Amino acid sequence: MPWHKIASQGDADALVRQCQGFHDGCFREAHVWTETSIEQGAMTCPGHLDTHVRTLFQLGAAEPSAIELRFDEVTYLHLLPSWDNCDSIIWRATLSQDEGVFHLRVYLIGLPLTGPPNAGIAKQPRDDDTPDMHIVARQVSWRDASEWMGAGLRYGPEDRGDNDGAM
């Protein structure tokens, strides 16, 4: 799966169009890491923005059906989970470039989980323009991850060794 660098607003717009604005897709998982580490009692701290994020989105009707986005030199990360008993279906997403950084903004529908599946319940997203996910980074790349559809986790094992799921 080759990575495709987003180098311009045109690249960002083309990806969002190809993914149909992420509409009716879902944010599946994320992996966040830094280059800072401690080994044998000595800490290594790079002198640059060292936070990275990889995200996996599954996109019901789009082609590709799933994409992985990689954000390097991350300056901001915000995630607001859906409320209890509400869906996490994506209403829309935007990817914009502003003053040398990229902004991914994801907005969820967030309907209460009532009624039968596919009941056609419609609700507008929140009135404000606050995204449920917002990532700001200097570099963004993406790749087709269509073979990563389904419930399996890709960035870590599903069984973390806890017996009851409590943390």
The predicted structure's pLDDT at residue 12: 98
Rounded to whole angstroms, the Cα distance separating 49 from 139 reads: 11
Tens-binned pLDDT, residue by residue, of the chain (167 aa): 899 999 999 999 999 999 999 999 999 999 999 999 999 999 999 999 999 999 999 998 778 999 999 999 999 999 998 888 788 899 999 999 999 999 999 999 877 676 666 665 555 555 567 899 999 999 999 999 999 999 999 997 665 555 454 44
- CB under 8 Å to 67, separation ≥6 — which residues? 15, 19, 56, 57, 59, 142, 143, 144, 145
pTM, 2 dp: 0.85
- The alpha carbon of residue 99 and the mean position of all alpha carbons in its chain are separated, in whole angstroms, by 22
Rounded to whole angstroms, the Cα distance separating 131 from 79 reads: 8
- Of the CA atoms within 13 Å of residue 60, those in its CB half-sphere come to 9
Neighbours of 137 (CB within 10 A): 23
